Chains A and B, each alone.
Chain A
């Protein structure tokens, strides 16, 4: 605590670089709140429609493969663990372990997406997609269930991809020693983001797959 923190990211040419990790963490949390409320709006819609179309939702959910859902849940939980471990490793200056953990996380993310891909293409091939032939035969509740299902899991999938990009950049940073055991707030932030993606799935999973 020896210096005045001028800006979290002090970039004026004349000034020297200052770092305020507390500020960047705060900013990250605020950003997570916006993500949370973005999904929050969708969850609110889900809640409202589930309330209105309880039966349609149940019928529709019976189509879902809860096994794939469960596997994906485990995958994401494990990837959250590996991100946390990689931060722990950086703190202990175990660069190799940190890198390995991040690569493993990326792999998990990829696995998740591949699963999702198969799941979606299965539904789509059955004609279940907005405007699809099977969906047109279904009740309003089912239509809305699948509408929400595609939007919410799609948006979540998008977040997985963004998170993976973040983590890939972190890998590069660690390799270039930009992230070190005394300067790893960036990794923390990427980790926070990844955990958020996990948390959202923790709710998506029971809501869409476990509704029999």
Chain B
């Protein structure tokens, strides 16, 4: 009977409110539509930045000029970094999938502040426009690297001001999303959903949001100071006037190190969603995984100095930062071990999203473990600012968060669009991505240890073999990614209708029949147990009806429900 009522409600895609057509999207306050708008915008920039990446690989195919001049190359890697970091990887999972699924997983009708949510999308677009405009105005996009190190960034004749302005605005957008999520998680959990009954994706987002709120302002002011320095010459970052370039690096990394955990924590949250679903079993060590997210977020604030081991920072400081850096590995390890343990005595349903998660665990571990090489003082001093670092961060960013972004798309695609894609093609594409990825980035570790510095337009001939291997890898990766997106796009247009719960997921979004409606739930559900319990229901989806059935036993059920 409940289904009948639901069937009459239009889903969020069909819903016609005050505004129709395109305005119904641009003025929407629905978290799901805003999520999709983010998805579209983010995909556009992701493709732009990926194309820049592939162009860089082409340039590196041969020593000397291959397809571009040094000035172009310098702008290309800067823009590649800026777009990937600020326009893709930081907003991707929180702003798209967090927006879409966080409220549903919490049993809420929307985020706490829908208007702010839309506002943050517009800020994102504004920042994106500025980033793109910096290409075509003034003397062209910044050529400083995404780190904007002074004093080069205040001396460069390129349009650095506009690029930093873009990053500044994007930072603001990120803060607003984070703030919204913290309040949403505190205030809008469904009745019965205690902290330790919250899905782990929500935990990941919670930790992420705190980083967004508490770290982002620091980069805001730092970038603003670069702009002021360029316009007015206030001196705080200009060594000619007594400013200290190392202080700039402190301020930059105070934000940008925690930011790498903004990138990875939501992805780790999704891993914790996908694994129990396909293992068809409760997750191993729920509480440890939940708490370790907060642990990573906190320790993440204490390690920024590991980016500055050769900058001339005090020796004492280098030692402290190196020691602290190693501590981040512990909560991350706890997560990895718990994930693997979840598979023990499971009954695994092998599907595309699960395959991506396996790829993630393998590739991210490589990335993380090489992070330890960078964390150790002696080795970092040798490999810092070489391709070893480039390999490390592509393994964690692309191989970690990027692969999980793909996994997330495959996992929630049926619930977002109501369509099903070809799993076979998805798995083939994933295999190809894994091969191409490793061929692209693994040689960089070797080159890096051999002493190939990063941000080099040109290189010494002894590196050419590795560069060729790497470039060929990028082509394999390109086709894999094109294949994957093609598959999804085809499904979107022509795919068969997806079942309500194709994977047997246990969290609230899978309990919704069909696509979510405007308000997600006809009635706010009542939660009676943990999120990944497979052998009994832990949610009462239609409390008013079901309670009458069971003589108002919701309370009792809740008490009995194991709350982990």
Contacts and interface: CB of A to CB of B under 8 A. Distances in A.
Chain A in direct contact with chain B (Cβ < 8 angstroms):
yes
Interface string A38-51: 11111011001100
Contacts of A36: 217
Contacts of B241: 140, 143-144, 147
Given A4-B524, A41-B217, A11 B29 contact: yes
Interface of B: 17-18, 29-30, 108-116, 175, 179-180, 182-183, 186-188, 191, 213-218, 220-222, 225, 228, 232-236, 241-244, 247, 250-251, 254, 518-519, 524
B111 A7 contact: yes
B519 A9 contact: no
A5 interface: yes
Contacts of B213: 30, 33-34
Given A26-B187, A49-B236, A148-B236, 4 more contacts: A26-B182, A34-B217, A38-B217, A151-B234
Contacts, number: 139
12 contacts: A7-B108, A7-B112, A9-B112, A12-B17, A13-B17, A13-B18, A27-B116, A30-B183, A34-B216, A38-B221, A144-B243, A148-B236
Given A52-B244, A53-B242, A4 B187 contact: no
A124 to B, nearest CB: 12
Contacts of A22: 187
Given A9-B112, A14-B518, A147 B236 contact: yes
A12 B218 contact: no
A27 B232 contact: no
A12 B109 contact: yes
A7 B244 contact: no
Main secondary structure of the interface of B (DSSP, over half): helix
A203 interface: no
Nearest to A131: B233
Interface of A: 4-15, 20, 22-23, 26-27, 30-31, 33-42, 44-45, 48-49, 52-53, 130-131, 139-141, 143-144, 147-148, 150-151
A27 B222 contact: no
A38 B241 CA distance: 23
A8 B232 contact: no
Given A26-B186, A34-B175, A15 B519 contact: yes
A144 B221 contact: no
A14 B113 contact: no
Contact of A11 (B115, B175, B217, B244): B115
A92 B242 CA distance: 55
Given A4-B191, A12-B519, A38-B220, A130 B109 contact: no
Contacts of B225: 45, 151
A48 B248 CA distance: 11
B110 A10 contact: yes
Nearest to B231: A130
Nearest to B111: A7
Nearest to B9: A14
Given A23-B187, A48-B247, A33 B524 contact: no
A15 B520 CA distance: 12
A27 B112 contact: yes
B178 to A, nearest CB: 8
Main secondary structure of the interface of A (DSSP, over half): helix
A5 B187 contact: yes
Nearest to A150: B234
B25 to A, nearest CB: 15
A8 B234 contact: no
Nearest to B220: A38
Contact of A141 (B18, B218, B242): B242
A147 B235 contact: yes
A150 B231 CA distance: 14
A193 B108 CA distance: 29
Nearest to A136: B241
Contacts of B220: 38
A41 B218 contact: yes
Contacts of A13: 17-18
Interface centre among B18, B109, B524 (most CB of A within 10 A): B109
A53 to B, nearest CB: 7
Interface centre among B220, B236, B242 (most CB of A within 10 A): B242
Contacts of B217: 34-38, 40-41
A199 to B, nearest CB: 16
Nearest to A45: B236
B236 A144 contact: yes
Contact of A44 (B109, B183, B187, B251): B251
Given A38-B221, A147-B235, A45 B112 contact: no
Contacts of A40: 217-218
B310 to A, nearest CB: 20
Nearest to B188: A7
Given A37-B214, A144-B242, A5 B221 contact: no
A123 to B, nearest CB: 14
A12 B29 contact: yes
Given A33-B213, A33-B214, A26 B114 contact: no
Contacts of B519: 12, 14-15
A12 B518 contact: yes
Contacts of A31: 179
Contact of B109 (A6, A23, A30): A6
A30 B218 contact: no
A138 to B, nearest CB: 10
Contacts of B235: 130, 140, 143-144, 147
A130 B233 contact: yes
B179 A15 contact: no
A53 B243 CA distance: 10
B183 A23 contact: yes
A39 B224 CA distance: 12
